[in-house]
Amino acid sequence: MLVFCEVKSRRQSVFGEGFEAVTHRKQAKVRAVAEAFLQVTGSNPQAIRFDVASVAVREARSTVELFEDAF
C-alpha cells in the first residue's frame, strides 16, 4: 500500500484544527500530485490511501492526530 499524507499544523484552534484545513480543493491537489507521482515513477501499488496528520502545537507541547483513509 502506498500512502500519501497531508500534514497540517495549527498553533491555535481559533481557525479550527489542522485537519479542517484540508478542503475538497486541497484534496483534489493532493490527488493530482499522487497521480503525477505514479506516472513519473511508474509505480503500480496494489492500493493507495490518503491520510491527514493534524498537528496541534500548544505552548511547549505538540500532539499529532492521524486520520487514516481521510479522503
| Topology adopted by domain 2-67 | Trna Endonuclease; Chain: A, domain 1 (3.40.1350)
CA 48 to chain centre: 13
- Condensed to tens digits (0 to 9), the pLDDT of residues 14-44 reads 667 888 889 999 999 999 999 999 999 999 9
Specify the 3-state DSSP secondary structure of 67.
strand
pTM of the predicted structure, to 2 decimals: 0.84
- Condensed to tens digits (0 to 9), the pLDDT of residues 2-21 reads 999 999 988 776 667 888 88
Cα 53 from Cα 66, distance rounded (Å): 5
Cell of 68: 487514516
pLDDT of residue 60: 83
Cα 45 from Cα 39, distance rounded (Å): 12
Cα 65 from Cα 42, distance rounded (Å): 31
Domain limits, the chain = 2-67
